[in-house]
């Protein structure tokens, strides 16, 4: 796609998300505000008011209702979207699982924020990580640009006839959602063609073919319905790459399971999700100038998780540090658990160390990351496992 078909704008991550929604032009959006997601729906609501989209906006009384209305709209046969964060996602949780179980291809934007208590409005990943087993595709974004592109990809992947699963697209609350960066938008028509028409296989409002969705299934069929979800997730993994290739044609960017930054010859690798990956890249660049073999692995597709592919790129490393921005109390951090799991079958089995950082928006600095690299390059055990925690 030539550059003339692109428009460069200064957008926050939240606005990038809303711009993607404008171009997708969903039939229904049910929404309830919550910090730091509010600017997504606020920007989109203005677009609706200005007549830029045909969307029917439903202002509901809670997130449980937001997801319920989105689910109803999707089941009826319309393209439906919503957005939330933190305790809003927690309140949705019952319906989040139901949407996946009913195989409704909803796309939802998440501005990651800590879960209560104590109440905290800042970024960590405990909200979306609490939903990692809910049967949704999960895509984590580093920048506003990625938020925009991942949202487009998510809609196509969710609605793929062999996938039919809901998808959530994550961005770091405040760090990405409220930060103004340069975002290249594709031409509206180009996106419209990429997204295409939503063609549900079964819809409640087809009066010529009455159906019943979400019925009772006991010990005789429940298990089979879950197995279908398992298989759909497997398909989603391969179709992610295919949809990504199509999206590449209009954006010129690549869509891989993860971003591997300077890791081919790296002795020491940090694995981290979302915006912190940007900080790590800066440190990698600086340390590479000093001849230090360091690299970054930034997983993008977290559900389904690409175990084999992650093992392929990590198994040559000597030392790996995995940075989790959420705690799994009494267990390993969610990302650390997956990385270690991926490496169990590799011959070399490099050492993997677990670090927790940034809970409730606690800052992480380049100096913190350099200290981690310095320690693991020396083959040492990292002394500070809860970065910046007193």
Partner 1 sequence: MNKKSHKEIAIGGTIDKPATSLEYKTGSWKIFHPQIDFSKCINCHFCVHFCPDDCFIVKEGKMNNVNMDYCKGCGICAQVCPKKCIKMEKGDPDPENVRKE
Interface ranges with partner 1 (CB under 8 A): 101-104, 164, 201-202, 209-215, 217, 220-222, 224-225, 227-228, 231-232
Measured from the CB atom, the residue of 214 and 252 that comes closer to partner 1 is 214
CA 376/CA 294 separation, integer angstroms: 10
Measured from the CB atom, the residue of 222 and 365 that comes closer to partner 1 is 222
Closest CB 99 distance from partner 1, rounded Å? 10
Measured from the CB atom, the residue of 209 and 390 that comes closer to partner 1 is 209
Answer for the pair 53, 47: CB distance below 8 angstroms, yes or no: yes
Measured from the CB atom, the residue of 107 and 164 that comes closer to partner 1 is 164
Closest CB 80 distance from partner 1, rounded Å? 15
Tell me the two tokens of residue 116. 């209560």
Closest CA to 26 of 7, 10, 47, 8: 47
Closest CB 289 distance from partner 1, rounded Å? 53
Closest CB 89 distance from partner 1, rounded Å? 21
Closest CB 317 distance from partner 1, rounded Å? 39
Give CA separation, 353 vs 82, 160, 312, 376, in Å: 36, 37, 18, 9
The torsion angle over the Cα atoms of residues 337, 340, 344 and 345, rounded to 10 degrees, is 100
Measured from the CB atom, the residue of 28 and 165 that comes closer to partner 1 is 165
């Amino acid at each position: 796609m030539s550059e003339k078909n692109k428009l460069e704008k200064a957008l926050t991550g939240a606005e990038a998300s809303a711009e993607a929604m404008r171009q997708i032009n969903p039939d229904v959006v049910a929404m309830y505000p919550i910090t730091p997601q509010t600017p997504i729906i606020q920007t989109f609501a203005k677009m609706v008011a200005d007549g830029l989209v045909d969307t029917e906006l439903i202002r509901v009384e809670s997130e449980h209702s937001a997801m319920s209305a989105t689910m109803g709209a999707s089941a009826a046969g319309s393209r439906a979207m919503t957005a939330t964060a933190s305790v809003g996602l927690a309140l949705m949780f019952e319906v989040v699982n139901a949407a996946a179980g009913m195989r409704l291809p909803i796309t939802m934007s998440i501005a990651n924020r800590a879960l209560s208590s104590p109440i905290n409005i800042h970024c960590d990943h405990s909200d979306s990580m609490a939903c990692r087993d809910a049967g949704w595709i999960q895509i984590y974004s580093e920048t506003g640009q990625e938020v925009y592109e991942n949202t487009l990809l998510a809609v196509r992947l969710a609605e793929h006839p062999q996938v039919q699963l809901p998808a959530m697209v994550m961005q770091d609350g405040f760090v990405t959602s409220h930060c103004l960066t340069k975002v290249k938008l594709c031409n509206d028509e180009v996106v419209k063609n990429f997204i295409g028409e939503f063609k549900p296989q079964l819809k409640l409002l087809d009066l010529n073919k009455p159906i019943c969705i979400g019925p009772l299934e006991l010990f005789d069929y429940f298990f089979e319905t879950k197995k279908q979800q398992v298989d759909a997730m497997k398909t989603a993994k391969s179709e992610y790459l295919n949809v990504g290739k199509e999206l590449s044609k209009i954006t010129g960017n690549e869509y891989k399971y993860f971003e591997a930054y300077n890791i081919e010859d790296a002795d020491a690798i940090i694995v981290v999700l979302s915006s912190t990956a940007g900080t790590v890249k800066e440190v990698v660049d600086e340390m590479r100038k000093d001849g230090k073999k360091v690299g970054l692995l930034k997983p993008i597709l977290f559900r389904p998780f690409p175990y084999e592919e992650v093992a392929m790129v990590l198994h040559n490393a000597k030392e790996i540090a995995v940075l989790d921005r959420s705690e799994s109390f009494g267990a390993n951090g969610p990302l650390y658990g997956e990385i270690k799991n991926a490496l169990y079958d590799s011959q070399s089995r490099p050492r993997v160390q677990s670090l927790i950082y940034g809970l409730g928006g606690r800052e992480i600095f380049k100096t913190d990351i350099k200290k981690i690299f310095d320690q693991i390059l020396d083959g040492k055990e990292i002394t500070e496992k809860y970065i910046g925690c007193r």
